[in-house]
Amino acid sequence: MNNKIKITLLACMLIATSGLLAQVQQKSKSSNLNFPFGINNGFGVSTKHLGKNGYQVKLDSITTINWNASTNSYEANMATRKFYYDSFGKNNLQVVGMMVDSVTYQDINRSEITYNENNKAILIFNTTIIGIDTWINDEKVEKNYDDKGNNTIMKFYQWKTDSNKWDTYLSIYLSYNNNHDIITEIDSLNFVNNKSARKIEFIYDNKGNNISNTTSHLLNTSWIKFSKIDYTFDEANNLTNTEIRSWDSARNEWFIGTKLFNTINSKGETIESKKYCWNGNNGPSGEPFRSLFTYNSSVNFDEVAWPRNIDLFETTYKSQILTINSQVQTNNVWVNNQLQTYHYSPFSTGTSINELTKTNINIYPNPSNGMINLITNETIENINITDVNGKLVHHQTNNSPIDLSLKAKGIYFVNITTEKGVINKKIVLN
């Protein structure tokens, strides 16, 4: 598997567990989920939050680990995406790393984001690694905007090592309505003189919810229906159901292939999302899949510096997201599959940081031989401990003593979520 394929697959895992979230979380102005990885799933930033005083924390990394059925625990660190910001909360660098073998972790992809004077991302420059430490050009994306701030054109370039130059392989053209909602997206591909095109048309209800996307492919001079996604929202504009269909040209009708159902809590957040393979009118087929979401309700969504298109997640996340646990149902029993953990640290330029510093948590002894104690009057919601590579080595939901005596000597990072917020500590094992 080459680096480009690995990076694409890895990105899908990190942005949405098993691709589920990326297919279902859409609302007005967030319908650009249809774009390939590297555009809005990873690098868009909502201008209404840029430079906003009041950030409590910033998202530092997302780690993805696998469930080991033989040990009945999460232990295999698959991938980590790390995020870096400027003093205004703009994400200007992302680094993707993964386990290249059973013991070796390596950064394999870097993405640098450049913004214009209106705080719009205009250039995304990707490099990938060859060998141990040789970084080479991989891909770049240019984004152009109209006078209303709408991203109207995106051009993708792939680095050609044989000719030592950038080659355009994809152009995306976008049109908008008066509410700045995308109404059409036309993608033009060019791979070795084999040209093709795709068109996506978006429909909204009177509340601005994106309720349907229809994709067509260009055949000769005609647009041929290909796929369709329909979204259902409740009265509070929460996304509850999604149906993914394919066009059956023989029957001249849409064929349902996938259905997704979201469970919403009282705050309007998705806490469970189930995915079913669907056999047209015959109902579900195969084992279902689900994602379970946990949040820190004491930190609001807009108090977090995020590294991606904020509008994409505002429809689902009202608070600081902590974990996404994916499971597969086997013989009517839900079995763990994968865990994404979101790691944060205080955002030093925000004005709400004082609330976090009031959180009184002491960890001792530090340095330690492996047994660690926590002293606090706060209610512990989550404790995640990671090594210097971002690998999750310990997780618990209380302030009981922590046993790391079997872990390797070195530096570890403790991410503690309490009723008042999130605080990060560093510990040393000797």
In whole angstroms, how far apart are CA 316 and each of 1, 237, 310? Answer: 34, 10, 10
Rounded to 5 degrees, what angle do the CA atoms 345, 312, 16 make?
70
- Positions in the chain short of pLDDT 50: 1-53, 192, 309-314, 349-358
Note the pLDDT tens digit of each residue in 126-142.
999 887 778 899 999 99
Give the C-alpha separation, 64 to 393, whole Å: 12
pLDDT of residue 240: 93
- In eight-state DSSP terms, residue 278 is B
Contact between 377 and 367 under an 8 Å Cβ cutoff? The reply is: no
Composition of the chain by helix, strand, coil, percent to 5? 10, 60, 30
The pLDDT of residue 146: 93
Tokens of 40: 């809005």
**Cis ω for the linkage preceding 367 (within 30 of 0):** yes
Whether 402 and 340 have beta carbons less than 8 Å apart is answered as no
Given a contact cutoff of 8 angstroms between Cβ atoms, the answer to whether 294 and 322 are in contact is: yes
Other C-beta atoms lying within 10 Å of the C-beta of residue 2: 7
- The answer to whether the beta carbons of residues 422 and 299 sit under 8 Å apart is yes
Q: Which tokens in the block code for residue 108?
A: 């394999």
* pLDDT at residue 309 in the model: 44
Q: How many residues does this entry show for the chain?
A: 430
DSSP 98-136: EESSSS-EEEEEEEEEEE-TTS-EEEEEEEEEETTTEEE
**Under a CB-based contact definition with an 8 Å cutoff, are residues 311 and 301 in contact?**
no
Query: What's phi and psi for 143, nearest 5 deg?
Result: -120, 130
Residue 4: alpha-carbon gap to chain centroid = 18
Radius of gyration of the chain (CA): 22
